[in-house]
Amino acid sequence: MEAGYFRKGFGLRREIAGELNAAYHSRLVEHLKAHDHTLAVGGLTIRLAREFGFCYGVDRAVEYAYETRKKFPDRRLFLVGEIIHNPHVNARLRELGVTIIGYAPEGEFDFSAVRPDDVVLIPAFGVTVRDFARLEGIGCVRVDTTCGSVLNVWKRVERYAKDGFTSVVHGKHYHEETKATVSQAGRFGEGKYLILRDMDEALVLCRWIAQGDNAAEMEALFAGRVSPGFDFARDLERIGVANQTTMLARESLAIAERIGEALARRYGADQLDGHFRSFDTICSATQDRQDAVLALIEESLDAMLVVGGYNSSNTTNLARICANRVTTYHIADAECIRPESGTIRYRPVDVAGEVEAAGWLDGVARLGITAGASTPNNKIGEAIERVLETRGLRIDL
């Protein structure tokens, strides 16, 4: 292993277990898990999704951050952006003396304060090839918490680039993970990429592939979301599909299928292998949480509560799944629930800001709850407690 670079932990799990438990454990959540993910009290039944909250990759990133603080107690410790998209977790790291690196005016992370004897945490989303090289050039200790599922996508993109395929990535172009992923295309010559957000954008791309008669629409839609020097006529002849790991799994698969069909129309089905590649790179934890929430909303729920940061892609996608079937309230954290007034502040799907609803629990007999992969159990437990308080209920554990 390269000197000053760490990816596999420091073997300090036992030493930090108490801190992690105190910071993120919830007795109430453990109670629900032990009772078929169900809590029934005072005419209200709460059903917790079978898969929810912290995933393995997030667990690992948070644990590794705590281990790093223990390993280097006297060093300055920096974090590139957010370790995960949860404000409480990032705030807790600040309390441990971690300085979070923000962006410089020109749009890159500002590493100007980092010195060779400092320690820098790389977040679960990873960092771009350029940012990694900049940190390497400083000579600081780098502790890499990049999720293994993200690394798997990077390998696909690298392979596409090496074989002369353009990576079409289903993701949010402004998301840290997507930025890091598309940067991998540049590891092999002039690897190309295009980022699309959803099926509507994919259909615009497919029209270009099959018919080539919407150049102006392509230029306008994908401006700023393609690699430097991108040529739509030249660089979309051979396509490899990948995705941000937290996108809607079914949409990613459907997008890949449509792109494959468009290429088959253009070049012939018998030539498709030379023009199209696709692999399902949605992480298993994202898939498990989406499957679990789909199963939960089959239970004739009156409402669904989704807990997690508004800038968390996997959380917003859980909310989107739920909102298609049942009244859904996506809250950033428990403080959005106000028992004293019976109101809730939440963000509707595809709306930029929060709205407030009064009497949101009126008539609700069965409430489903889930949480994004970056939401710790204690925040889920606090939300459940506030739900009970709104009804004038409590449970002693």
pLDDT, tens only, 127-145: 999 999 999 999 999 999 9
Please tell me the chain's helix, strand, coil percentages from 3-state DSSP, rounded to the nearest 5: 45, 20, 40
Decide: residue 252, CB within 10 A, 0-12 exposed, 13-18 middle, 19+ buried. Answer: buried
Angle formed by the axes of helices 148-162 and 56-71, nearest 10°: 110
CATH code (residue 319): 3.40.1010.20
In this structure, the answer to whether residues 277 and 156 fall within a common structural domain is yes
Range of the domain at 63: 57-147
Same domain for 27 and 109: no
Tell me how far apart the alpha carbons of residues 92 and 69 are, in angstroms, rounded to a whole number. Answer: 12
Note whether 275 and 155 are same-domain residues.
yes
Regarding whether 176 and 131 lie in a shared domain, the answer is no
The answer to whether position 352 is within a domain reads: yes
List, for residues 361-383, the tens digit of each pLDDT value. 999 999 999 999 999 999 999 99
Tens of pLDDT along 225-249?
999 999 999 999 999 999 999 898 8
Return the active site residues.
Answer: 177
Structure confidence at residue 2 (pLDDT): 61
Please count the other Cβ atoms lying within 10 Å of the Cβ belonging to residue 378: 20
Q: How far apart are CA 258 and CA 281, in angstroms?
A: 17
User: Looking at 282, 298, 320, which one is the last position of a domain?
Assistant: 282
Total domains in the fold of the chain: 3
As separate numbers, helices (DSSP H) first and strands (DSSP E) second, the chain gives 14, 17
Q: What's the CA gap between 316 and 330, in Å, rounded?
A: 8
User: Which residues are registered as beta bridge partners of 201?
Assistant: none
**Partners of 77 in beta bridges:** 98, 119
Provide the 10 A C-beta neighbour count for residue 392. 8
Q: How far is CA 231 from CA 98, 196, 332, in A?
A: 43, 16, 41
Question: Could you tell me if 307 and 339 lie in one domain?
Answer: yes
- Residue 241, both tokens: 């599909």
pLDDT tier at 1 (50, 70, 90 boundaries)?
very low
Question: Residues 158, 277: one domain?
Answer: yes
Asked if residue 9 belongs to a domain, the reply is no
Q: 126 and 90 share a domain?
A: yes
User: Do 269 and 159 fall into the same domain?
Assistant: yes
Q: What is the pTM of this model?
A: 0.91
Strand, coil or helix: what is 387?
Answer: helix
